[in-house]
Every structure is written in C-alpha cells, then in structure tokens.
Amino acid sequence: MTAVRSETTPGRLTEQTAAISFPAGFTWGAATAAYQIEGAAAEDGRTPSIWDTFSHTPGKVRNGDTGDIAADHYHRFRDDVALMADLGLNAYRFSISWPRVQPTGRGPAVERGLDFYRALADELLEKGITPVATLYHWDLPQELEDAGGWPVRDTAERFTDYAAIMAEALGDRVKIWTTFNEPWCSAFLGYGSGVHAPGRTEPDAALKAAHHLNLAHGRAIGVLRSTLPATAQTSITLNLHQVRPLTDSAEDLDAARRIDAVGNRIFTGPVLNGAYPADLLEDTAHLVDWGTLVQDGDLAEISRPIDLLGINYYTPTLVSAPDGAVPAGEASRNDAHGKSDHSPWPGSEQVVFHLPPGETTAMGWAIDDTGLHDLLLAVGREHPNLPLMVTENGAAFDDYLDPKGAVNDPERIAYLHGHLSAVHRAIADGVDVRGYFLWSLMDNFEWAYGYSKRFGAVYVDYSTQRRIPKSSARWYADVIGRHGLPPVDGLA
C-alpha cells in the first residue's frame, strides 16, 4: 500500500457541531486478547505459551509482571459479558489461547479448554452479542517455540491443525473468524527486535516467521472454509503502518517506501495480491533466500479469498532517510514499537523514525486521527471490493480512581471521538468500513509494559479484580445507543 498525504489536521473536534450517524448495520464492539485478560495460566490443562516464558524471564516485562492472573477473566467471564451487555456492545472480539485448547501445539484438544470458549460464546449469544474469534494473538505454545517457532515451516502445519480443532468446536456458535492478530508484531517484535516473546533478535528469522505466518493464515482459511457454515466470515487483522515521509525529498520518500514494504506489503502483498512485492525482496535479499523460502503453491494458499480485513490503528509512522551515521538502536527509537538495540525493520535498519508533532498518549504515541482516515482510504482504494473492520483502536492514559471511586478519562473520550469521526469520514469517502472495535474492553496485561499502561474503557482494580466503567465506557455506550457520535458539546 502507499502513503496518503493528509489534507486534514488531527483533533478536529471543534469542527463538529451536529451529531453524526453511522450506516445501518455498522458494528460496535470491543476487543481483548487471551493472555492479557484470562489468567488461570496453569489451570485445566493449559501449558505455558511463549508469553508465559517471556514474562517470567527477569528483565523482560516492566515490574516483573506476568499474565498468571491478569484480569481473571477465565473465572469472571459471565460478569464481564454482563458488563458488555450493559454497554450495549453488538460484538466482542476475543482471542483463543492455543495452549489452553492444545497444550503442546500438537495432538488432540483438551475438552476443558474448549468448554471455556463454548461457554463464553454461549453467554455472548444469550446476551445478543456477536462473538468474533481470533485464533492467534501471540501466545504460541512454548513447545512449538522450542522446536523452532514461527521461523520453522512446520509451525504453519501445526497452526492448520489447531484451526481445524477450533472450527469444529465453535463453528456452530462463531460466525466471524480471524486467523491472526498483527502478525507483523509476532514476526518482527518477537524475532527481530526481541521486545516481544520469544525475545529473539535474528533478522533472517523474523522474515522467515513472516512468511510462515502468511502460510499458516492461508492454510487456516482453507480449513475454516471447508469446516464452517457457508455463512461464516473469515478475516485477518493487520496493524498496517500509516507511513509518512518527513519531507518530499527522494531520500525520505524511499525511506517511506522501505517501511511500507516491510511494515505493510510483506503481508498485504501475498495475502491480497498473491505475491511478495519486488522491492521488499530486493531490500532483504541479503538476509534470506526467498526462492527457497517460498515454495511452490505457497502463494496460492496464502492468497485464498477472505471476507473481511481487520485493521488496527493507534498512531502514524513518520520516517526519513538517515542524516549521517545512525548509532545502533537509534533509528527505531520513535517507531512506537518499544526500545531495543535491535531493529524490527530487517533490511531497512538505517531508516530514521520521528515522533509526529502534537499531543501523545501515555505510551508516548502521537495522537493523530487523520492517520486512521488516510489508512482506511488507502486500503479502500486499493481493495475496493474488500470490506474493512477497525478491529483495534484506542489509547492508554494515566487513569486513576478519584476519591469518589470514579475514573474520569476525558482524554480517551476525545481520542475516541476524533478517531470515530475519522472512520465516518472514510465511509463518507466511499470506503466500506463495517464496524469498529474499541481497544480495549478493560485494563489488562499490556505485554512488555505489564500493568503499567491502561487501555481499557473499564478500569480494573487488580488487587480486588473489581471492574469500574470509566467515563469513556459510559460515553461509548451512548455512542452505541445513538448509533453515532454526539456533537462536541456532548463529549463530557
């Protein structure tokens, strides 16, 4: 995909004086991930995932936090679904813990693990909430990583078997399926920069992992299609980078091209177009032998048609060519993907990342809703017949309980209002956007940041596991109820 220059400015709240309505049938949802909320890490047959191992490794996660208990959703899911119903959610996007249902990544499933997801889906359906299942949100069974992980082709075979198990178990309940959430993070943060599990820093392994994630996606789509009812929908969710060059110089434009290739088109190319882009192959030819890595038939499998494309967006990506020597680890300091002396951009380690101007979230990410509009517009123009879903969007802020026991987060309300306005603008521009999933339903284990960052619309008091809807949750419930956005003076 290519970058789209924005002709708008972020934070357009002052321009909206009337309420905004969304199209009929637009889905309002919220999203979570298994390792971030479930807890029960060693119960009912579940074995360690790479994130269990990573979080228990000293120095890998802030404050030594782990997902052992998290938000205890495994034991509290019925209360959490009731909370979703109170907010009026149309849909709930959750992920399945692979080691909870197939502990070694091989062989038969554990029925107790399947029963949890059956019960969760049943509870959602009873409350009129559509379950949206993601097969993989980063929690590879540790035994498969011990055998080589995603850089090894056999892991794609194992994922295909796992997809078949889940389709058979939940196919009568779940009608929307996502193969992978943000495979870019799995490949390049897990095997490139090492800031995510399994914490490896091998540029060639990161590229191999990307291909095998693509292959696993395509094969899983084949299994889902052969097992699920014809009415079921299949998808993949990508965290596409809205790449912008710092200037219009040829050097900066080439830097943007490079990051677009390894940040976006390494997935959209084979998945949506049936081929890896030639410039990506050229940029990375010194790291991997693509002719050997990509075997006959792979691209045909990877490019099996999907029904929806999920897009996750938080902040734009601003890049330039290097100005002089770039010290090791410096180039990617402002790429919004954590700090490491190792780059998650194999073949383009020299590209410099800049913090875009303006306000930032507690993650240090620039707040710019035009990036979401521009990203949706770019994808919509390149793939006009493919419906889109915003499957993650949200922000972390320094939320706290006030003396009255409430959590007021006007910054998050402003963020959501701006980004939902951007979605509406994209729809008005002709992009087929079918829904929006807020990240996240509740505060949770925020990967390498542990519990230090709060993205939830619902505050979680981890000492008591009490759930407290923030003011943004009440605002979002109002948005859902009116099927649109209030005028700016209705933000509070």
Q: What does the DSSP assignment read for 111-144?
A: HHHHHHHHHHHHHHHHTT-EEEEEEESS--BHHH
Amino acid identity for residue 303 in this structure: S
Average pLDDT along the chain: 95
If we measure between CA atoms, which residue out of 336, 201, 212 comes closest to residue 263?
336
* Averaged pLDDT for residues 30-39: 99
Share of the chain above pLDDT 90, in %: 92
Are the CB atoms for 297 and 222 separated by under 8 Å?
no
Tell me the backbone φ, ψ of residue 26, rounded to 5 degrees. Answer: -65, 135
pLDDT of residue 3: 43
Q: What is the pTM of this model?
A: 0.96
Provide the 10 A C-beta neighbour count for residue 108: 8
Q: Is 392 a catalytic residue?
A: yes
> Which range is least confidently modeled, 229-243, 311-325, 472-486?
311-325
Judged on CB neighbours under 10 Å (0-12, 13-18, 19+), 208 is: buried
Judged on CB neighbours under 10 Å (0-12, 13-18, 19+), 58 is: exposed
401-418 pLDDT tens trace: 999 999 999 999 999 999
> Which range is least confidently modeled, 113-117, 121-125, 327-331?
327-331
> Measuring CA to CA, how many Å separate 296 from each of 152, 282, 488?
17, 20, 55
**Is the pLDDT at 331 greater than 80, yes or no?**
no
* Averaged pLDDT for residues 435-442: 98
* Averaged pLDDT for residues 458-479: 98
* Averaged pLDDT for residues 209-230: 98
**Is the pLDDT at 224 greater than 80, yes or no?**
yes
Are the CB atoms for 371 and 407 separated by under 8 Å?
no
Nearest 10 degrees: CA dihedral of 217, 222, 224, 228?
160
Instruction: Check residues 13 and 178 and name the one with the higher pLDDT.
Output: 178
> Which range is least confidently modeled, 11-25, 145-159, 181-195?
11-25
Residue spans of beta strands (DSSP E) within 231-316: 233-238, 243-245, 308-312
Are the CB atoms for 470 and 456 separated by under 8 Å?
yes
**Is the pLDDT at 143 greater than 80, yes or no?**
yes
280-308 pLDDT tens trace: 999 999 999 999 999 999 999 999 999 99
Paired with 29 in beta bridges are 91, 437
* Averaged pLDDT for residues 17-35: 95
pLDDT of residue 323: 80
Instruction: Check residues 176 and 331 and name the one with the higher pLDDT.
Output: 176
pLDDT of residue 9: 45
pLDDT of residue 117: 99
**235: Cα separation from own chain's centroid:** 13
Amino acid identity for residue 400 in this structure: Y
| Annotated catalytic residue, options 145, 301, 349, 392 | 392
Q: How far apart are CA 197 and CA 481, in angstroms?
A: 39
55-99 pLDDT tens trace: 999 999 999 999 999 999 999 999 999 999 999 999 999 999 999
**Is the pLDDT at 356 greater than 60, yes or no?**
yes
240-272 pLDDT tens trace: 999 999 999 999 999 999 999 999 999 999 999
Q: Is 157 a catalytic residue?
A: no
Element (H, E) at 177: strand 176-181
pLDDT range class, residue 488, cuts 50, 70, 90:
confident
pLDDT range class, residue 326, cuts 50, 70, 90:
low
Token pair listed for 244: 């912008």
| Annotated catalytic residue, options 38, 123, 145, 182 | 182
